[in-house]
């Protein structure tokens, strides 16, 4: 067996080395921090319209409508808590070196994959919820008893909900794919450093 270290050294020196752009990582983390803080604010404000409806319109709401709103609140509040927990990495990080930037960004992008999946699946669940509410009101005659009821408005609301939810589902799916690709890119950087 021959031991030719010169050839090995020459081969080693010709290998491409991917440099880590610390400024790019810092900008990405700063961008993620700003976005996540904005999303946290939006998440925290999301139950407010439901609470206002219960407070301001209490006398005008039927018992069914109040039950639906309470049901939405019961679903929304734990969901907001989960989203806040998922957004914590980038929103409140204090990375000080390259490895810390990569680690924080990696964890946040992994959580963004979960958020995108949650977005994607909550869209079709929302359509089922809307269809259930509208169907119940139609079956019980609650909507039909109201003077401004029209079947065109009923089916229009349902159709609009389906179109919006389909768009939302496709948007969540694209985001999930994009975040998964970014996660693979960051995994390579993480393994390199």
pLDDT in tens, 45-73: 988 988 988 888 878 777 887 888 898 89
pTM to 2 decimals? 0.71
Give percent of the chain above pLDDT 70.
81
Tokens representing 170? 């496709």
Q: Is 164 exposed, middle or buried (0-12, 13-18, 19+ CB in 10 A)?
A: middle
Task: Classify 62 in phi/psi space as left (phi over 0), alpha (psi -120 to 50) or beta.
Answer: beta
pLDDT one-digit tens code per residue, 118-137: 989 888 888 888 778 777 77
Q: Which residue has the tokens 């319109």?
A: 57
């Amino acid at each position: 067996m021959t031991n030719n270290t010169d050839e090995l050294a020459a081969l080693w020196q010709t290998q491409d080395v991917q440099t880590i752009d610390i400024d790019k990582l810092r900008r990405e983390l700063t961008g993620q921090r700003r976005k996540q803080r904005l999303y946290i604010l939006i998440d925290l404000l999301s139950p407010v319209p439901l609470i206002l409806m219960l407070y301001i319109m209490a006398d005008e709401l039927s018992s069914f409508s109040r039950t639906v709103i309470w049901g939405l609140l019961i679903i929304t509040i734990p969901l907001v808590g989960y989203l806040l927990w998922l957004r914590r990495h980038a929103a409140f990080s204090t990375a000080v070196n390259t490895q810390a930037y990569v680690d924080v960004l990696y964890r946040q992008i992994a959580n963004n994959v979960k958020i995108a999946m949650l977005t994607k699946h909550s869209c079709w669940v929302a359509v089922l919820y809307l269809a259930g509410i509208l169907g119940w009101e139609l079956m019980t005659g609650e909507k039909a008893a109201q003077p401004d009821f029209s079947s065109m408005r009923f089916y229009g609301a349902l159709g609009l909900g389906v179109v919006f939810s389909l768009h939302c589902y496709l948007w969540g799916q694209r985001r999930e794919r994009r975040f998964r690709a970014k996660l693979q890119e960051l995994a390579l950087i993480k393994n390199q450093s």
